[in-house]
Structure formats: structure tokens, C-alpha cells
Amino acid sequence: MILLPTLPTLAIVGATGAVGREMLSILESREFPVSKLRLFASARSAGTQIPFRSEMLTVEPMVEGCARGVDIALFSAGKAISREWAALFVEAGAFVIDNSSCFRMDAAVPLVIPQVNPHALDAMQERGIIAVPNCSTIIALVAVTPLHRALTVERMIVSTYQAASGAGAAAMQELEQQAHAFAAGTPLATPIFGRQYLFNLFSHNSAIGEDGFNEEERKLLTETRKIWNSPSVRVAATCVRVPVLRAHAESIHLEFARSTSESEVRSLLANAPGVRIVDDRAANRFPEPIDASGGDDVLVGRIRMDPSVPDNRGVMLFVAGDQLRKGAALDAVEIAECLLERFGETDTMPQLDHRVHRTWGLV
């Protein structure tokens, strides 16, 4: 039987990146129980001092034997690092929670959103890799899954409006620098996206295949099918990069197996873990990235019936969620909390804030 110590040794691989630093903040604010926290990053970042709780932690390089003694490792250093190091951490005795796309579609690897499918962890018989879904998939499915459970989604059309944060800290800096350059009347530098980002939007910068879909759009299809265990659900996406610093927004059109009503949809969403309804028609206030930034909930609004779908089987939503938090770092930490809840050698849950348990939809 898998057992984790009540106070595990935790590691963050990629600790100096935007998501890694967000993980640190979340671990501290949620009072995640650890006996020791170890930080890893590239050789050029080794030796960096980062505060955590009441001490300064030193960033370590990735070297042979560095995984020894780690119980849970949160990876956010890119696909190449995950491919090289994740299995080594597992061999050393750790659970690896990976934010890259490296293992998401591996049939042997659970792809987990704690509010959606925590039960995917139950099949684990030994320490291994758990994948964090793509940020757009997480934000969409936290909002849509409560409706899918009750009404069965047959078709989902998604248009995303994705912030600079999805492309990392350098992309956020590029957008800020372009704003300063525009105000100063100087040329706009474009090292990340190769084009003006300020006052512009463009197709998501991931690779486009022969079918015309980019990688981000394909992820929404394949990951949704795996997470829902629903190979027949129809999903189509158009993913766009917009000049927003942080937090993604998505327009979602749903077609259900049976008829519904706006009141039923609102009721289902009002009771959904990780969801907050922001839908004030009188004031024209709906989900906005600026309001989602720094928050843990996915904001849902513009809730209305879709008149193009017959028999009251269609609903339209607009959602926003913080890509760095719920779309990446928070999901990984919540998975770690699920692991402690399931595999802790004693009842760890009383040491965790009650609201944490609540966000999984378990109470």
C-alpha cells in the first residue's frame, strides 16, 4: 500500500519560473504541511535565495541523486525537463505532479483536476506521475463539468482569450515593456512573439498542424475526452492570444443531451466547487481577467440559453480564470493535497484548512 508521511518532503522543479513562484505562494497561504521544501531550477539559477515562511531557501541544481528523499515533486520547468527527470524522481520514491504536456495523453498517467476527477488517483497502486491539464482545459472544465454531470455535454465550442501569463514571465515582461515603449514613443521590442502584442491579438502561438488546428486547440479536445472518459464528446476550439497580463477568458457554447433551463444551469453552477458566478446584467458586469487575477475560483457569467440549439438543449457561458493559479500552480498543489488525503499514513486533513477539502467537492 502507498503511504505518504504526514509531513512529506516536497520539491518544486522550476521554482524560479512564474508558475514555480506561484506554487510557493500557494503552499504558504494554504499552510500545506511539509517537513522540508526543496527548490530546483537551472544551473544559472542555482544558489538563488527565495523566502518561504520564516526562512530563506536556496535553489538547488538538477544533479544526479537530487531526487533522493523527496515524497512529492511539483514539476513546472517545461517538457524537456519533465521528460528527463520525472521518471528519476519516481524511481527515487516520489509522486511527480507535472505541469508540462509531456505525459498528459499517456494512458497510464492520470490527468487530474481535483474539482472534476479526483477519483482518477484511486487507481494508483504505486508512486508515479500525475499530469496537470492544459490551463485552458482546466478553466473550461471547472465551469462546465457540473453541467456535464447533470445534463451530459454532447458538443462544446470554445473560443479562448489567453493572457501573456500563459507564455511565461518573459511574455508578461514583453507586454509591459511594449506599453512603456508606446508611451515613450520608442520602437516596440518583439523578442517573444515576433510581432506587436500591445493593442493587438493573434492566433495562439503554438504550432499549427496540417489540419489547421494549433496545439492549444487540440489539447482542449483530447484532454477533455480523457478527463471526462468520454471519447465521443465533440469539442472544437479557437485559441487566441490577447494583450492581457494575467488570467484567461473563454467563450463556451454547450449542447446537451436533454433540455434544460437557465434557472437549472444557474443552480448547478451556484453549487459547484471552484466556481463563482459573476453575472450582473443590470450593471453589465461579467467575468473579466482583471477580476480573476490572483483568485482561485473560475468566474462564470453571461449565462444564457443558446437559441441556435433546438429543444432548449443549448447554453452559452463566458468564463475567466487565473492561468498561473488555477490553470497551473493551484491545480498542482490541490493534487498534492488529494494525495495526502488518500495516501497519508495518518489523517492529514485536520491539518489542512477546511476550505481546501471543500474545493474538491468532497464535503
The Cβ of residue 60 has, within 10 Å, a number of other Cβ atoms equal to 18
Q: Which grid cell sits at 300?
A: 462564470
CA–chain centroid gap for 159, Å, is: 17
CATH class of 136-163+201-323: alpha beta
Q: Has domain 9-132+326-359 been given CATH number 3.40.50.720?
A: yes
| DSSP string over 249-283 | EEEEEEEESS---HHHHHHHHHT-TTEEE--BTTT
**Backbone phi, psi, residue 126, to 5°:** -155, 170
Q: Tell me the pLDDT tens digit for each residue of 184-196.
A: 999 999 999 999 9
Which helix or strand (DSSP H or E) is residue 292 part of?
helix 289-292
Domain definitions of the chain by residue range: 9-132+326-359, 136-163+201-323
Summarize the confidence of residues 9-32 as an average pLDDT: 96
Q: Does 9-132+326-359 match 136-163+201-323 in CATH topology?
A: no
- pLDDT, residue 318, reads 98
Q: Is the pLDDT of residue 363 over 50?
A: no
The Cβ of residue 107 has, within 10 Å, a number of other Cβ atoms equal to 5
Residue of 98, 96, 102, 137 lying closest to 117 (CA atoms): 137
What residues are labeled active site? 135, 248
Q: Is the pLDDT of residue 83 over 60?
A: yes
Q: Which grid cell sits at 50?
A: 527565495
Summarize the confidence of residues 149-173 as an average pLDDT: 96
pTM of the model: 0.94
Q: Tell me the pLDDT tens digit for each residue of 240-290.
A: 999 999 999 999 999 999 999 999 999 999 999 999 999 999 999 999 999
- pLDDT, residue 355, reads 43
